[in-house]
Amino acid sequence: MRFAAVDIGSNAVRLLFCDVYPFKDSLTIKKTSLVRLPIRLGEDVFSKKMVSKKNVDKLIKSIEAFKNLTEVYEVIDYRVCATSAMREAENGKDIIKTIKKQTGIEIEIIEGEIEAELIYQTHVAEKIDEKGCFLYVDVGGGSTELTLFAEGKKMMSKSFKIGTIRLKNNLVNQKTWKEMAEWVHKAKKKNQPSMIIATGGNINKLYKLCGLKDYKLMEYSDLQQMNSFLEKYSIEERINKLGLKPDRADVITHAGNIFLQVMKEVGVKHVFVPKVGLADGVIQELYNKHIGNK
């Protein structure tokens, strides 16, 4: 069974195609194709409240391409989700109507809590300890989603307007940082997390830069040292000397600082980086829906 998902984020648009192989009580999900398009909607929205015409045109072409690919790959179901930037764009609903009219593809603007729940659909916590307590931290261009899970159940969840694009453009005030810290301390009183489960493109890259693999836990010191190392380089040097993509080079340390701050507030020293995201959760949800409808 082949499914597809689109994650229209603040820093990029991701098109994911997966084959799902059910076998007895297990499930194997194999990525057939993942296309990351550097369409930075957050750069427009967080400062001007609108998606620019240039980026609207790019987004329309991206969804047209996605539609064609769903036909070529013969997917049996798909879902297209938009997050923080489209939530806040004053022309967001008009863009969705235009895309629906031109392509027939419907885009759903989802709230932060729904975004966090979809990421949880990947069941990565169960692979560690299904009865453990974990804090999921997903850092995007426009927001950070925090979700506390204990014994497989969601205890509390909150989305904060602290994202890499916002930090890059100095659009996050101390009040928002304080609100996130207060939420974390409230979560700790409810259930003390033993570990952070970190998701997002930037933490995946930081994990790789640290030379970690096979799901080895990332230490606070690993992340701190790598982030400090990257901060010594200019954005141009990160691109030319370290080989980072331009739209990764200017935000990666901001993401690192968000994760470090949350780890400090929680009081944990270990991070599990499962290398999954919103699109992966959507694939899992589509499969569950398909099985449920049989």
Residues 91 and 136 in one domain: no
pLDDT of 293 over the 90 cut:
no
130 confidence band (pLDDT: 50, 70, 90): low
Per-residue pLDDT at 294: 53
Kindly indicate the confidence band of residue 224, based on its pLDDT and cuts at 50, 70 and 90.
very high
And the tokens for 136?
């999921």
Number of domains into which the chain is organized? 2
SS (H, E, C) 257-273: HHHHHHHHHHCCCEEEC
pLDDT at 205 over 60: yes
At residue 125, the pLDDT reads: 62
- Would the pLDDT of 82 be above 90? yes
Among candidate residues 112, 138, 157, the one where a domain is terminated: 112
Closest-CA residue to 81 (of 102, 66, 69): 66
Q: How far is CA 135 from CA 146, 235, 274, in A?
A: 7, 31, 13
pLDDT tens digits along 252-278: 999 999 999 999 999 999 999 988 888
Domain with residue 176: its CATH number is: 3.30.420.150
Distance CA 127, CA 142 (A): 29
Please report, for the domain that includes residue 17, its CATH number.
3.30.420.40
pTM for this prediction: 0.91
Tell me whether residue 293 is in a domain.
no
Give pLDDT tens digits for 104-128. Answer: 999 999 987 788 778 777 666 666 6
Do 105 and 133 lie in a common domain?
no
> What per-residue confidence (pLDDT) applies to 214?
81
In the listed set 112, 132, 157, which residue is the last one of a domain according to the structure?
112
pLDDT attached to residue 271: 94
Do 34 and 148 sit in the same domain of this protein? no
Residue range(s) defining the domain that contains residue 87: 2-112
